[in-house]
Copies of this chain bind each other. A is one copy, B any other.
Amino acid sequence: MSVTKRVLASEVGEHVGREVTISGWLHRKRELKSVSFAIVRDRSGLAQAVFPGGMIDVPEETVVKVSGLVKASTQAPGGAELTEPVLTMLSGPAEPPPFDLYRPTVTATLPTVLDYAPTTLRHPLLSAGLRIAAASEAGFRAVMESRDFTEIHTPKIVGSATESGANVFAIDYFGKPAFLAQSPQFYKQAMVGVFERVYEVGPVFRAEPHDTARHLAQYTSLDAEFGFITDHFDVMAMLREAIAGMVDGVTARALPSVELLGVRLPKVPDEIPYLDFAEAQELIASMAGWDPRGEPDLSPADERWLCEWAEREHGSEFLFVPGFPTAKRPFYTHQDPARPGYTRSFDLLFRGLELVTGGQRLHDHADYLAALAARGADQAPYASYLQVFSHGMPPHGGFAIGLERWTARLTGAANLRQVTAFPRDLHRLAP
């Protein structure tokens, strides 16, 4: 048996005329009359070994090592194949997966894919979304680090369900009631007081009682928050950098997955166009055939129409809508001093849907007290949060990007579960 060092499947073509060993999963075997092919899958892709004949007595998905002499072959993946191969099993013979992983399309239903995720995610079409997610995150981090943001990790267990009040998971915390954090919002704001610019990548939890394609009980949030801004336009400019970095990350690290899925990457304009919320409603009222004025939020139809408009008028798949009404925004949102009832917050729309929400936050202690009073909310549950603002906080703002939402939107996945390794929802707690 060969003791040559392992090469990756993608490297086989560089070794024509030499003996190499490849290792991976027996992706597919094709047994013809006079010759058989074993196609091996590893993290880099596929490589083929050709056997003189007979059966390959190993089930697909078994982990194998194959040594052989590399010969050029125009019909093999990568333009070369292993000949005179010796195949060794590195695992026991694999049980058949729930569907044939070597077929070019996924023939199983989403529930089957999810029930058997550790196996089904091996299908290149199903892992591609996760590769694109990882590459997006790397791109996000690169931008944050280059802009002098400090990475933080904040508590996922909190003492009060303050941020939205609803849809929280309750925990038994050493006999005391506690909750899973719905976002790092309060902590990232606090840490602006320490580092000025902070970001966090971590899980957030929503006890979403509806079983929809757009919600998960746990998702990965890319959070950023920074101080010494003029207003929310500074936040929008930084978000534009982050999104551009995510596209760059995907381009640099996950192009094979992009091509496999047929993803069209968006061009992020140097300046993403924006349309004020109230103006957007006016425009829709005058041009779209319905009248959204008076509504405190954009409807799905509004979002679709505005994206078409931005594409048409500005050639942009992205559109900022700043100036949302106060009614639908959390209490910490900075008011627009010039327009009572409106805020310095925004949505970023992308391909017909809301992608990110962000804005400037309040920073003065007195403004927080007034905002809570205006909503008739008790100060007590917010005590440790309010404390932050009595000790000097700069004008600041930020945003949160849902990694799964971004990845789904980019890849065209209709359901967030298609781009989440082991999703959690109303019905799903395993695997």
Contacts and interface: CB of A to CB of B under 8 A. Distances in A.
Interface of A: 6, 23, 25-26, 42-43, 61-63, 90-92, 94-95, 97, 116-119, 121-122, 127, 130-131, 134, 137-138, 141, 145, 148, 150-159, 169-174, 176, 178, 180, 187, 190-191, 193-197, 201-203, 205, 207, 209, 217-218, 220, 228, 363-366, 384-385, 387-388, 390-395, 403, 421-422, 424, 426, 429-431
A144 to B, nearest CB: 10
Contacts of A131: 150, 195
Given A157-B217, A173-B169, A205-B157, A193 B119 contact: yes
A391 B156 contact: no
A365 B92 CA distance: 8
A134 B152 contact: yes
A392 B61 contact: yes
Given A122-B194, A170-B172, 14 more contacts: A62-B392, A94-B390, A95-B391, A97-B391, A118-B388, A134-B150, A153-B403, A156-B205, A157-B217, A157-B424, A178-B429, A190-B431, A201-B201, A202-B203
Contacts of A180: 157, 171
A151 B138 contact: yes
Contact of A63 (B157, B173, B191, B393): B393
Contacts of A366: 92
Integer count of this chain's copies in the complex: 2
23 contacts: A6-B228, A26-B392, A43-B197, A63-B363, A90-B395, A92-B364, A92-B366, A118-B391, A119-B388, A131-B150, A134-B150, A155-B422, A156-B205, A157-B180, A158-B429, A159-B430, A171-B172, A171-B180, A174-B207, A174-B209, A187-B421, A190-B431, A203-B203
A169 to B, nearest CB: 5
Contact of A228 (B23, B156, B202, B388): B23
B94 A392 contact: yes
Contacts of A152: 130, 134, 421
B127 A194 contact: yes
A385 to B, nearest CB: 8
Nearest to A93: B392
Contacts of A171: 169-172, 180
Contacts of A169: 157, 171-173
Given A155-B424, A157-B205, A392 B430 contact: no
Given A138-B151, A156-B218, A431-B190, A116 B387 contact: yes
Contacts of A43: 148, 150, 195-197
Contact of A364 (B91, B154, B197): B91
Contacts of A209: 174
